[in-house]
Structure 1
Amino acid sequence: MKLIITGGAGFIGSNFVFHMLKAHPDFRVICLDKLTYAGNLSTLAPVMALPNFRFVKADICDRQAVYQLFEEEHPDVVVNFAAESHVDRSIENPAIFLETNIMGTAVLMDACRKYGIQRYHQVSTDEVYGDLPLDRPDLFFTETTPIHTSSPYSSSKASADLLVLAYHRTYGLPVTISRCSNNYGPYHFPEKLIPLMIINALHDKPLPVYGDGLNVRDW
């Protein structure tokens, strides 16, 4: 089994790389990552020398590079973790989120159509569902909850999800989508809430509180 894991030098992607190599030592795992500010190649140091692991620095929006990798490896499964994922950054500069999260997804699925795969898996986010009121703890998101995005980031991820479903319906591409809630753990980038709070608290710095579109720094 050959897997291409995009965004595998990032927080969640790298943990998935480690899991797959440990749980399936007979698999070949190819990590494709652009190495933006959120990607760290040193994270993958423990597996870089493994004979069944390969790292490729490339952008999922680079059609030529993606097609070349598929031509060389002919993967069975593609798992797409690659994404711009910070809400504040998406408000400041939506364009890069639209390019990476939507057009990059399209390039990957076109490559899957061209070379054939057993499955394409899109790693999405629960943020496509929007917000839940704090005074209604009985409410939950489900797979049938309507999409109700609230930022360029969540809108770009929802757009990618709809594109994935369209490729399945139009071309018969075998796809799955997961929309996980907030993750935390090893290699978490320090701009995210939990590591940011911990680091700021350790250095006696203000703790940012987000809500209703405001960022209050008076804690």
Structure 2
Amino acid sequence: MTVIVTGGAGFIGSNFVFHMMKEHPDYRIICLDKLTYAGNLSTLKSVMDKPNFRFIKADICDRKAVEKLFEEEKPDIVVNFAAESHVDRSIENPEIFLQTNIIGTEVLMDACRKYGIQRYHQVSTDEVYGDLPLDRPDLFFTEDTPIHTSSPYSSSKAGADLLVLAYHRTYGLPVTISRCSNNYGPYHFPEKLIPLMIANALADKPLPVYGEGINVRDWLYVEDHCRAIDLIIHKGRVGEVYNVGG
């Protein structure tokens, strides 16, 4: 089994690479990553020399590079972690989020259609559902919760999700989608909340409070998330959306 993991040098993607290498040592794992500010090749140092691992530096929006890789590797499964994911950055510059998160997804799925695939899995976010009311702690998002985005980032991810489901309905592409809550764990990028708070505390710097400090987040340990995706790509039902929470 050959698995392409896009965004595999990022926080969640690298943890997924490690998980797959450990749980499926007979699989061939191909990591495709553009190595933006959020990607760190040194994270993958421990697997770079493994015979069943290959790293390719490329942009998922680069159709020629993506198709070349598919032609060479003939993947069975594609798991797409590659995304611009920082909400504040999306407010400053929405265009790059639309390009990577929507057009990049389309390029990958076109390659899946052209070269054949057993499963295309889109890693999404619970932010496509918007916010829950603070005075209703009994409420939870479900897979049937209507999409209600609140930032260019979440809108770009919701757009990609709809495109993935459209490719399933229109072309019969075997797809699944997972929407997760906030991840934490090894290799977390330092701009994110938990590592930022820890780094500021260690440096005796102020701890930033968002809004009035009353917002609540659900936290998911990254290795639990990776196990969930592994389960979905092997046993999940094609065309389904799966929520993964902490």
Shorter-chain TM-score tier: over 0.9
Equivalence for 1:216: none
- The offset of 1:211, in angstroms, is 2.8
Uncovered stretches (5+) of structure 2, i.e. residues with no partner? 213-246
- CA offsets 1:121-178 (integer angstroms, 9 cap, x no match): 0000000000011111011000000000000000000000000000000000000000
Matched, 1:48 2:57: no
Q: Which amino acid aligns with 1:95?
A: E
The SS at the match of 2:178 is strand
CA distance in 2, matches of 1:55, 1:100: 19
CA distance in 1, matches of 2:144, 2:107: 27
Residue correspondence of structure 1 range 102-121 to structure 2 within 5 A: 102-121=102-121
Residue correspondence of structure 1 range 55-134 to structure 2 within 5 A: 55-134=55-134
The SS at the match of 2:184 is coil
Normalised TM-score (structure 2): 0.86
Equivalence for 1:135: 135
Q: Which amino acid aligns with 2:58?
A: A
The SS at the match of 2:135 is coil
The SS at the match of 1:91 is helix
Equivalence for 1:4: 4
- CA offsets 1:84-107 (integer angstroms, 9 cap, x no match): 000000000000000000000000
CA distance in 1, matches of 2:206, 2:63: 43
Equivalence for 1:148: 148
RMSD, aligned CA: 0.6
Q: Which amino acid aligns with 2:109?
A: M
CA distance in 1, matches of 2:138, 2:181: 17
Normalised TM-score (structure 1): 0.96
Equivalence for 1:215: none
The SS at the match of 1:132 is coil
Residue correspondence of structure 1 range 16-31 to structure 2 within 5 A: 16-31=16-31
- The offset of 1:197, in angstroms, is 0.6
The SS at the match of 2:182 is coil
Equivalence for 2:244: none
Uncovered stretches (5+) of structure 1, i.e. residues with no partner? 213-219
Equivalence for 2:199: 199
CA distance in 1, matches of 2:55, 2:168: 28
CA distance in 2, matches of 1:211, 1:42: 35
CA distance in 2, matches of 1:163, 1:209: 35
**Stretch of structure 1 that moved more, 129-138 or 73-82:** 129-138
CA distance in 1, matches of 2:209, 2:148: 23
The SS at the match of 1:110 is helix
CA distance in 2, matches of 1:69, 1:39: 19
Q: Which amino acid aligns with 2:170?
A: T
The SS at the match of 1:55 is strand
CA distance in 1, matches of 2:7, 2:136: 35
Aligned residues: 212
CA distance in 2, matches of 1:132, 1:200: 29
The SS at the match of 1:211 is coil
